[in-house]
């Protein structure tokens, strides 16, 4: 476990001076040392930059937690067109960290993209931002124009051999477009249906070319890694979860918001220490540690260290780093119904287990609420979740099945009591 | 036996229950000679098409641009985009029906998306949405709808008003919010997300 709680962690890497007025402009960003990491990276051969990324052990911040350096190394070598796509379609319920980064420090993202593209040999890049983020997309567009004019993006960047074009592409409202292959289809101008994997995007992605896809926060971390060095970065956090992470915390807490923490601190310090815990007189009933797609934990699990492997060991996942706290005043059925309805709405309809499973889960939950359910329904519902997991092209169905399955397992008594009392009322 | 509304869940395709007209000619790309496209819209779409290796990638930005001009993805708007992009209208409709922000039926000019996903609903978003709907009534200017997570759970419950995020909203804010929209003012300036400071005490400025 880390010796440093977050309030004693003096250095913020991503949130350093985040509220400084004008940080979204090139002038202020450069005054704060911006684009120095890019100069350094461009003076190094791509392999050396890749080595730094691998040494940092940075794990992707979008949800899957795959090592970024490894992902870059999967791209084939050679002179073909390669693409870098920044996934800024932040739609996982409870997640809003990328929004704050793009709004307040857009140049950090642009710098990270150029460095990552240099390492990967990509010559075209796209930022796929969700259409709802109008303000953030406008800010990115303005920042990109500045960066282009200053020669940080475009042909022969800063006189080097590296060239990179960049486009801010706005989505139009679909959760599934945050899934990497759904995003690629959407970026190609199609419905955002996920693709069969393999082939993985590293081999055949955008326009069938090798494509590196990374989350905003991951790419924003890249300049810091170049600045302090991959080995130094790897000293932050814990062995298998290095570095700092933005945590979006919301729901029943007194100070919701984004916090930069060092991975591996106890979850209690985030929920109670930083966010102030639930309102006076209430206790934590359950919490989602990584967005609404992660299996829930209860008030007994608050001392689990907040890092990728500890969360996996506890049967859940760190996901996008979005903690949603539910206090004891909320019936668990309401939580389950909200979550299930969301995935039903967002299922693209391509794979049967997800399309039908999400729909029937909602129907059965509604039946419980209407007093029409029998105790057997809980078992059926649990088995529906098991049949979704692993049986679809993407993990949207799993993303409902995991939290709903965990809610049924952990709050069975409450659901049964709810069922019985509603039946009594209905009779 | 009660009838099951088979497509009532998730189908966002208008006309799913209408019989297909099998005698109709296959769709064609609209003829530029007979399809008039506003010059600005054409330039906008062509500008987007030039950004991508495959011009087809510009479909979403093009539909959004047409929606800004026409208010929704009307058959006329779809035809204009199809004409400029050299695609059949059907290809565009297939895309437009997939996305929540592309309107395939006429809607009010001002969009008010109330987030009713988990974090916001824990903070009272369902009541807020109901109040917003009632207060807007049948005013044709407003397009009040509930929306999935808008990515602003720190200001829950919140709404996106013509793209600008505001929150946390109390039920008592609803009349002022609608009044601000009607008057063409910035909505609830003190609750705009754009001015909110970072919650992290270690972030600093």
- Mean of all residue pLDDT scores within chain B: 92
Q: What is the pLDDT of residue B26?
A: 78
Residues 50-69 of A with CB under 8 A from B: none
Q: What is the pLDDT of residue A342?
A: 97
Sheet holding A322-327, edge to edge: A257-262, A244-251, A322-327, A284-288, A297-298
Domains and CATH numbers, chain A: 6-237 (3.40.50.11540), 245-327 (3.10.20.600), 332-426 (1.20.1440.230)
Whether B170 maps to a domain, the answer reads yes
- Whether B119 and B190 share a structural domain: yes
Of A139, A115, A137, A138, give the one whose Cα is nearest residue A125.
A115
Q: Assess whether pLDDT exceeds 60 at residue B10.
A: no
**CB proximity A426 to B under 8 Å:** no
- Whether B84 and B125 share a structural domain: no
The closest CB to that of B153, out of A10, A18, A94, belongs to: A94
- Whether B92 and B114 share a structural domain: no
Whether B21 maps to a domain, the answer reads no
Of B162, B184, B185, B157, give the one whose Cα is nearest residue B173.
B157
Stretch A112-135: mean pLDDT: 98
CA-CA distances (angstroms) from residue A391 to A13, A35, A195, A387? 39, 44, 14, 7
Chain B residue closest to A182 (CA)?
B98
CA quadruple A302, A307, A310, A313: dihedral sign? positive
Using one digit for the tens of pLDDT, what is the confidence trace for A170-188? 999 999 999 999 999 999 9
Q: What is the pLDDT of residue B203?
A: 84
Stretch B2-25: mean pLDDT: 62
Q: Assess whether pLDDT exceeds 70 at residue B12.
A: no
Q: The domain containing residue B164 runs over which residues?
A: 110-194
The closest CB to that of B57, out of A172, A188, A256, belongs to: A188
Smallest Cα distance from A202 to chain B, Å: 18
Whether B169 maps to a domain, the answer reads yes
- Whether B115 and B176 share a structural domain: yes
- Whether B91 and B114 share a structural domain: no
Stretch B45-68: mean pLDDT: 98
Stretch A71-92: mean pLDDT: 95
Q: What is the CATH number of the domain that holds B172?
A: 3.40.30.10
CA distance A92 to A322: 8
Does an H or E element contain A247, and which? strand A244-251
A152 and A145 Cβ atoms separated by less than 8 Å: no
Whether B34 maps to a domain, the answer reads no
pLDDT class of B13 with cuts at 50, 70, 90? low
CA distance A382 to A412: 11
Using one digit for the tens of pLDDT, what is the confidence trace for A402-416? 999 999 999 999 999
Single out the residue in B96, B119, B138 at which a domain terminates: B96
Single out the residue in B96, B130, B163 at which a domain terminates: B96
Q: What is the pLDDT of residue B105?
A: 93
- Whether B85 and B152 share a structural domain: no
- Mean of all residue pLDDT scores within chain A: 95
- Whether B188 and B115 share a structural domain: yes
Whether B23 maps to a domain, the answer reads no
Q: Assess whether pLDDT exceeds 50 at residue A6.
A: no
Q: Assess whether pLDDT exceeds 60 at residue A2.
A: no
Q: What is the pLDDT of residue A158?
A: 96
Q: Per mean pLDDT, which range of A93-102, A207-216, A370-379, B65-74 is the poorest?
A: A370-379
Residues 37-56 of B with CB under 8 A from A: 51-54, 56
Give the N- to C-terminal CA distance of chain B in Å, as an integer. 65
CA distance A207 to A174: 21
* DSSP 8-state code for residue A125: E
Q: What is the pLDDT of residue A3?
A: 40
Chain B residue closest to A12 (CA)?
B203
pLDDT class of A399 with cuts at 50, 70, 90? very high
* DSSP 8-state code for residue A372: -
Return the percentage of chain B with pLDDT > 70, whole number.
Answer: 91
Q: Look at B98 and A191 and tell me if their CB atoms are within 8 Å.
A: yes
A82 and A209 Cβ atoms separated by less than 8 Å: yes
Stretch B116-129: mean pLDDT: 97
Residues 63-122 of B with CB under 8 A from A: 63-64, 94-95, 98-102, 113, 117-119, 121-122
Stretch A281-307: mean pLDDT: 97
Q: What is the pLDDT of residue A131?
A: 97
pLDDT class of A10 with cuts at 50, 70, 90? low
Task: Tell me the two tokens of residue A360.
Answer: 């029937």
Task: Tell me the two tokens of residue B172.
Answer: 């008592």
- Whether B186 and B115 share a structural domain: yes
Give the N- to C-terminal CA distance of chain A in Å, as an integer. 54
- Whether B116 and B190 share a structural domain: yes
Whether B86 maps to a domain, the answer reads yes
Using one digit for the tens of pLDDT, what is the confidence trace for B136-150? 999 999 999 999 999
pLDDT class of B205 with cuts at 50, 70, 90? low
Q: What is the pLDDT of residue B93?
A: 95
Whether B62 maps to a domain, the answer reads yes
Q: Assess whether pLDDT exceeds 50 at residue A1.
A: no
Stretch A45-54: mean pLDDT: 97
pLDDT class of A427 with cuts at 50, 70, 90? confident
pLDDT class of B132 with cuts at 50, 70, 90? very high
B50 and B64 Cβ atoms separated by less than 8 Å: no
Smallest Cα distance from A169 to chain B, Å: 8
Q: What is the pLDDT of residue B18?
A: 76
Place of tokens 């950004």: B51
Q: What is the pLDDT of residue B4?
A: 39
* DSSP 8-state code for residue A161: S
Number of domains in chain B: 2
Q: What is the pLDDT of residue B14?
A: 62
CA distance A14 to A99: 13
Smallest Cα distance from B39 to chain A, Å: 22
- Whether B75 and B120 share a structural domain: no
Q: Look at A103 and B123 and tell me if their CB atoms are within 8 Å.
A: no
Torsions phi, psi for A285 (to 5 deg): -90, -55
3-state SS, B64-106, equals: HHHHHHHCCCCHHHHHHHHHHHCCCHHHHHHHHCCCCCCCCCC
Is 0.85 exceeded by the ipTM? yes
Q: What is the pLDDT of residue B16?
A: 67
**CB proximity A134 to B under 8 Å:** yes
Q: Assess whether pLDDT exceeds 90 at residue B59.
A: yes
- Whether B181 and B135 share a structural domain: yes
Which of B203, B204, B205 should we substitute to test contact with A (largest number of A Cβ atoms within 10 Å)?
B203
**CB proximity A171 to B under 8 Å:** yes
CA distance A379 to A408: 9
Chain A residues close to B59, C-beta within 8 Å: 189-190
Q: Assess whether pLDDT exceeds 70 at residue B3.
A: no
Smallest Cα distance from B100 to chain A, Å: 5
- Whether B62 and B133 share a structural domain: no
Whether B73 maps to a domain, the answer reads yes
Residues 6+ apart with CB under 8 A from B14: B97, B104, B105
Place of tokens 């990638």: B57
Q: Assess whether pLDDT exceeds 90 at residue B9.
A: no
Q: What is the CATH number of the domain that holds B47?
A: 1.10.10
pTM of the model: 0.94
Q: What is the pLDDT of residue A175?
A: 96
Return the percentage of chain A with pLDDT > 90, whole number.
Answer: 95
CA distance A142 to A121: 25
Strands A284-288 and A322-327, sheet pairing: antiparallel
Q: Assess whether pLDDT exceeds 60 at residue A95.
A: yes
């Amino acid at each position: 476990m880390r010796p440093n709680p977050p309030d004693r962690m003096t250095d913020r890497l991503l949130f350093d001076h985040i509220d400084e007025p004008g940080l979204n402009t090139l002038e202020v960003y450069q005054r704060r040392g911006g684009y120095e990491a890019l100069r350094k990276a461009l003076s190094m051969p791509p392999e050396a930059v890749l080595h730094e990324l691998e040494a940092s052990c940075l794990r992707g911040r979008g949800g899957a937690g795959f090592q970024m350096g490894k992902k870059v190394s999967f791209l084939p070598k050679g002179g073909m067109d390669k693409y870098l796509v920044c996934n800024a379609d932040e739609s996982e319920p409870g997640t809003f960290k990328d929004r704050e980064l793009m709004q307040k420090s857009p140049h950090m993202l642009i710098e990270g993209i150029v460095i990552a593209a240099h390492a990967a040999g990509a010559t075209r890049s796209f930022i796929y931002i969700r259409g709802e983020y109008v303000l953030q997309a406008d800010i990115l567009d303005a920042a990109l124009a500045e960066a282009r004019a200053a020669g940080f993006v475009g042909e022969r960047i800063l006189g080097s051999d590296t060239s990179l074009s960049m486009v801010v592409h706005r989505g139009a409202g679909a959760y599934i477009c945050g899934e990497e292959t759904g995003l690629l289809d959407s970026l190609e101008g199609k419905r955002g249906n996920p693709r069969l994997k393999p082939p993985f995007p590293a081999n055949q992605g955008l326009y069938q070319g090798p494509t590196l896809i990374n989350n905003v926060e991951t790419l924003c971390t890249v300049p810091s890694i170049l600045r302090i060095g991959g080995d130094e970065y790897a000293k932050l956090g814990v062995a298998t979860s290095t570095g700092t992470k933005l945590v979006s915390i919301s729901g029943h807490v007194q100070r919701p918001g984004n916090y930069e923490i060092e991975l591996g601190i106890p979850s209690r310090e985030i929920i109670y220490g930083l966010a102030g815990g639930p309102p006076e007189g209430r206790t934590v009933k359950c919490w989602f540690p990584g967005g609404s797609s992660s299996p829930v934990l209860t008030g007994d699990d608050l001392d689990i260290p907040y890092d990728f492997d500890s969360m996996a060991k506890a049967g859940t996942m760190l996901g996008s780093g979005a903690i949603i706290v539910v206090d004891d005043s909320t019936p668990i059925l309401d939580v389950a119904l909200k979550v299930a309805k969301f995935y039903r709405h967002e299922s693209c309809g391509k794979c049967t287990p997800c399309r039908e499973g999400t729909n029937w889960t909602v129907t059965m939950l509604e039946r419980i609420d209407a007093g029409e359910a029998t105790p057997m329904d809980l078992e059926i519902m649990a088995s529906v979740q098991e049949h979704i997991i692993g049986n679809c092209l993407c993990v949207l169905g799993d993303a409902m099945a995991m939290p709903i399955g965990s809610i049924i397992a952990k709050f069975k008594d409450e659901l049964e009591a709810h069922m019985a009392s509603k039946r009594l009322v209905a009779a | 036996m009660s009838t099951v509304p088979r497509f009532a869940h998730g189908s966002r395709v208008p006309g799913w229950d209408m019989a297909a007209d099998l005698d109709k000619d296959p769709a064609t790309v609209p003829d530029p000679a007979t399809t008039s496209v506003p010059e600005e819209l054409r330039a906008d779409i062509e500008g987007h098409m030039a950004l991508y290796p495959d011009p087809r990638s510009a479909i979403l930005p093009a539909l959004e641009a047409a929606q800004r001009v026409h208010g929704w993805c009307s058959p006329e708007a779809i035809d204009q985009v199809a004409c400029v992009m050299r695609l059949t209208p059907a290809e565009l409709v297939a895309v437009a029906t997939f996305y929540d922000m592309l309107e395939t039926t006429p809607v009010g000019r001002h969009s008010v998306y109330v987030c009713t996903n988990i974090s916001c609903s824990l903070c009272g978003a369902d009541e807020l949405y109901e109040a917003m709907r009632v207060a807007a009534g049948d005013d044709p200017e407003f397009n009040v709808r509930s929306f999935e997570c808008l990515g602003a759970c720190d200001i829950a419950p919140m709404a996106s008003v013509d793209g600008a995020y505001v929150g946390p909203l109390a039920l008592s804010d609803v009349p002022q919010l609608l009044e601000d929209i009607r008057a063409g003012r910035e909505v609830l300036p003190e609750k705009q997300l754009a001015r909110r400071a970072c919650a992290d005490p270690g972030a600093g400025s």
